[in-house]
Chain A
Amino acid sequence: MNRKIRVLASKPGLDGHDRGIKVICRGLRDAGMEVIYTGLRQTPQQIASAALEEDVDVVAMSILSGAHDVLLPRVADLLKERRMEHVLLIAGGIIPEEDIDPLKQKGIREIFGPGTTIKEIKDYIITALAES
């Protein structure tokens, strides 16, 4: 139980806006988590493979390009295929209100919009992992 929480932070798709995800990487590290950042332009396959190889507890994806409806559920499906349902899948970025429920139904556990604090994300991760 002393193992640090391991987080894979990633940018799915072609979106280059990485200010948010980089801030979150630093924030979660300062909060004591182990964070691996994949960098830009990750395909769902690359994200799922990295999650498996790095044996992470959380996959956090940031997307501001509007491709969330296609790419995020694909990551969820690939994690399921690889029997990694236990991994906490979360996302953030510019995601319209009406897209949030459909994404949650497809396995994205929580969506964080603009204005979210690092603390809110950190607290959510700790609580959600403790519950599962």
Chain B
Amino acid sequence: MCDNNNIIRKEKTRWAETSSEKPTGDCMTDWGKPVEWLYTPADIEGLDYLSDIGFPGEYPFVRGVHPTMYLRRQWTMRQYAGFGTAEDTNRRYKYLLEQGQTGLSVAFDLPTQIGYDSDNPMSEGEVGKVGVAVDSLQDMEIMFDGISLDEISTSMTINAPAGILLAMYVVVAEKKGISPKKLRGTIQNDILKEYTARGTYIFPPRPSIRLITDIFEYCSKEIPQWNTVNVGGYHMREAGCSAVQEIAFSFSNAIAYIEAALKAGLDIDSFAPRISWIFNTHNKIFEEVAKYRAARKVWAKILKERYHAKNPKSWMLRFHTQTSGVSLTAQQPENNLIRVAYQALSAILGGAQSLAACSFDEALAIPTEKSVRLSLRTQQILAHEAGVTDTVDPLGGSYYVEALTKKMEEEITALIAKIDEMGGAIAAIEKGFIQREIEHRAYEIQKEIEENRRIVVGVNKYKTDETIHSALFKSDPAVAVRQTEKLQSLKGSRDNEKVRTALGSVRKAAQGNENLMPHFLNAVRCYATLGEICDVLREVFGEYMAVQTL
């Protein structure tokens, strides 16, 4: 084999030197390494098929987490949606389900994500804007009215107050007579990336991680099919980091959660199978595919070799992906349809379990019914017409994709080791390392765009003067008023004595070591509001002060 590769190398040199044409420029990977003009078997020298790549559904899962991948089950089509009141969002969910969507994904508004009720002064101007406003169990009941929670899986993008929103979901199901054991879904519950990219933190890292550990423990017993954390590389990638950093930073965050859970006495196989992921599928098709192939392998190795997990489900990297929001342009927004379609293709070639395709108008507003339907159709065309699901891992064996997969595996592993040396993700965040890496690359990309070293179609090349079309979603200014009225009437009609007692028990549990989940359930059941519960936690845990890196 080696001899053969030497011959190939020699022949490639001959071919390149005697070629009548040469490439005009050097292409670079997303993380700044040169891309070869041509890849050959010599670029994957030393790669052993059985041990390094293997079969889908088997360790190290390079080719996919399931043996049959899309031949038996389609990915879940799960558009990120939510706006206005619970009533507005319930209507959008029903519309999406009617159009063939197969899972739900809840976008909460910022006050909900940061644990403020709609009538809090901090919520002014923000209620129902980037997502749905949820103040109490009442809103959650309305949001899922007429939706069968035992049939659908629901993903909730909620972090700092994740346990409280999960508790509301469980109680909604309970009232419909559905056992928590039957519930399927996900809470994001990934606080560390909120400090580095997404910004919806409430509490400092230590109590935040305790909340995560409480959820791991509670769900492993009571809500066994629930994905208790959805560790995210997505948002750090949106904020500017590279594909390699996306995986390494998010893996380091997950390692911090694992360490905390082990320290709390949990068995690795009791919670690791419920760790799920959200990644960002960006523009470069082959690199994104290689990223997912490499990530599956690195994760499987970490769980098997570093944490000695025994259950193969603990080794599996199951991920949701959303196409890249930051790659969308406000200029010539229809171009975004094409970007999204290519990114969605990459996600499926990369073996995603669940996908949200951005809508073409997202650089301008919340998607309209029509634009989100186009996103769903993009997925459906991929699933039914394009033939990309007819065999497992169709790009496996491509010299380029295998070489990229190998390279990314090495670089991801090295960066995780670097963060380990710093003392892990929490220490790296406290030092501002991850934030600075993200900021640095975001600035470099901006300079590349401004100096025309990076082409963004319609922005710095092929520009037009057209004005943006007007059929955009408009938010309803009356949402905040309606939410405030709902809160007033709720506080007038509930048993306030019961609420006080429930909040008291939340406080006591927070001050001690008792698992908080049963107390959250108890509090939301008697309609304590999200803001009231979070205020208690704020008093006990304090609030996070951001590390200034600029």
Interface string of A46-74 (1 = CB under 8 A from B): 00000000000000000001111111000
Structural contact, A26 and B443, CB atoms closer than 8 A: yes
Specify the main secondary structure of chain B where it touches its partner: loop
Q: Does the CB pair A43–B122 fall under 8 Å? A: yes
B113 CB contacts on chain A under 8 angstroms: 14
Binds A, one of B56-64, B326-334, B529-537: B326-334
- Given the interface pairs A13-B126, A66-B130, A114-B329, the reply to whether A37 lies near B550 with Cβ below 8 Å is yes
User: Which residues of B have CB within 8 Å of A16?
Assistant: 110, 194, 197-200
**Chain B, 493-530, CB within 8 A of any chain A CB:** none
Given contacts A27-B443, A70-B125, A94-B364, contact A40 B459 (CB under 8 A): no
CA distance A3 to B450 in the complex (A): 27
Given A15-B199, A40-B546: A115 and B111 interface contact (C-beta under 8 Å): no
> Which of A17-25, A78-86, A102-110 has 4 or more CB atoms under 8 Å from chain B?
A17-25
CA distance A115 to B327 in the complex (A): 11
> Which size class do A's interface residues fall under?
20 to 34
CA distance A22 to B432 in the complex (A): 14
Chain A, residue nearest B475 (CB): A66
User: Which residues of chain B are within 8 angstroms of A94 by Cβ–Cβ distance?
Assistant: 363-365
In whole angstroms, how far apart are the Cα atoms of A117 and B445 in the complex? 12
Chain A residue nearest to B325 in the complex (CB) = A17
The answer on a CB contact under 8 Å between B548 and A114 is no
Task: Give a binary string over B462-498; 1 marks a CB under 8 Å from any A CB, 0 the rest.
Answer: 0000011000101100000000000000000000000
Given A66-B129, A114-B329, A118-B446; A19-B365 close (CB under 8 Å)? no
User: Who on chain B is nearest to A25 by CB?
Assistant: B550
Q: Is B238 an interface residue (CB 8 A)?
A: yes
Q: Chain B residues with Cβ under 8 A from A70's Cβ?
A: 124-125
* Additional 12 contacts, C-beta under 8 A, given A18-B239, A23-B439, A25-B550: A16-B194, A18-B199, A23-B443, A23-B446, A27-B446, A66-B475, A67-B125, A70-B125, A94-B363, A114-B331, A117-B449, A119-B450
10 of the cross-chain contacts (CB-CB < 8 Å) are A15-B110, A16-B194, A16-B199, A22-B439, A23-B442, A25-B550, A71-B124, A94-B365, A114-B330, A119-B450
Chain A positions near chain B (C-beta within 8 angstroms)? 13-19, 22-23, 25-27, 35, 37, 39-41, 43, 65-71, 94, 96-97, 113-115, 117-119
